Amino acid sequence: MYDGGKIIAGLLIGLVLLTFPFWYNLGKAAKLPEPKLAPEAQKAKQCVESKEYMAAHHMQILNKWRDDVVRKRYRIYIGLNGKEFNMSLQNECMKCHTSKKEFCDQCHNFVDVKPYCWECHLEPKEAKEGK
């Protein structure tokens, strides 16, 4: 004879397993990236341009900096509030954003972009976690 309770329980477990990838991914998709500002950046209070502008256009700024330095030998960029910046990925951006992992990578992993810059430019040495 069939045991109705067991069949229903079996069906329920089957349903949960079948739909697992769906609701598991729902949970993940809802988690937006949280880039953490390093203490160095917090102390500086402002970025090269406004936060909104940086979030949307930092790639263009980096491209412009590279062209200006490599082709035109310019070194100084006048940014937000007339502040001067040394146009350098390693020596300027990463001086404030001292953790690539906690900052840059938080967003990049989310949108799945992998800038190849670090094949040549040095990334900051990450502080060893828990050691």
Please give the residue ranges that form the binding site for ligand HEC (CB under 6 A). Answer: 35, 37, 41, 44-48, 51, 54-55, 58-59, 61-62, 65-66, 69-70, 85, 87-93, 95-97, 103-104, 107-108, 111, 113, 115-117, 119-121
Closest Cα partner for 66 from 110, 116, 109? 116
Q: By C-beta, is 19 or 50 nearer to ligand HEC?
A: 50
Shortest distance, position 131 Cβ to ligand HEC, whole Å: 24
Q: By C-beta, is 9 or 56 nearer to ligand HEC?
A: 56
Shortest distance, position 104 Cβ to ligand HEC, whole Å: 3
Alpha carbons 36 and 107: distance in angstroms, whole number: 10
Contact 107, 33 (CB under 8 A): yes
Q: Token pair for residue 67?
A: 């062209």
Give the C-alpha distances (Å, rounded to integers) separating 119 from 7, 61, 91, 115. Answer: 57, 19, 16, 9
Q: By C-beta, is 18 or 32 nearer to ligand HEC?
A: 32
